[in-house]
């Protein structure tokens, strides 16, 4: 197997490993927001229902903050891996390597996840 091909397969494997984690974090974020009727606003304090205690709102705020950071970290990791994969694909195509794996399925998955992330 061509070295570049092995590297590309490894990158795709890493993406496939991270995507379910990202999906889980986004699903949990959306569930917490929806179940608790929270209005999340980026870079500004969001609103919580007036009947929610201060302690609960602090705990939810901390939980949402953690999930948001996990989502951003995983998204950044995937973005970096996509850039590496695309560069490797281009390099392999220039070498006329046959049977180059494509990352279009993973790219569509991340696009769908980004659309589902409610913030």
Residue-level pLDDT at 54: 82
Domain boundaries, the chain: 3-116
What's the confidence (pLDDT) of residue 1? Answer: 47
Class of domain 3-116 as given by CATH? mainly alpha
What average pLDDT does range 23-44 have in this prediction? Answer: 83
Tell me the C-alpha to C-alpha distance, in Å, between residue 3 and each of 6, 9, 88, 101: 5, 10, 10, 14
User: Which tens digit of pLDDT belongs to each residue from 39-63?
Assistant: 776 544 555 566 778 888 888 889 9
Which residues neighbour 41 within 8 Å (Cβ) at sequence distance 6 or greater?
A: 47
Could you read off the pLDDT of 65-98 as tens digits, one per residue?
A: 899 999 999 999 999 999 999 898 888 888 876 7
According to DSSP, residue 36 is labeled T
Q: How does the average pLDDT of the chain come out, rounded?
A: 84
Share of residues in the chain with pLDDT > 90 (%): 38
């Amino acid at each position: 197997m061509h070295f570049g091909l092995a590297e590309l397969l490894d990158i795709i494997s890493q993406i496939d490993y991270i995507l379910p984690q990202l999906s889980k974090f986004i699903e949990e974020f959306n569930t917490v927001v929806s179940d608790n009727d929270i209005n999340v606003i980026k870079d500004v304090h969001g609103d919580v229902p007036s009947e929610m205690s201060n302690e609960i709102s602090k705990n939810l705020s901390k939980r949402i903050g953690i999930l948001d950071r996990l989502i951003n970290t995983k998204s950044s990791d995937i973005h970096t891996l996509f850039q590496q994969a695309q560069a490797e694909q281009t390099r392999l195509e220039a070498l006329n390597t046959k049977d180059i794996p494509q990352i279009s399925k993973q790219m569509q998955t991340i696009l769908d996840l980004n659309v589902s992330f409610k913030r």
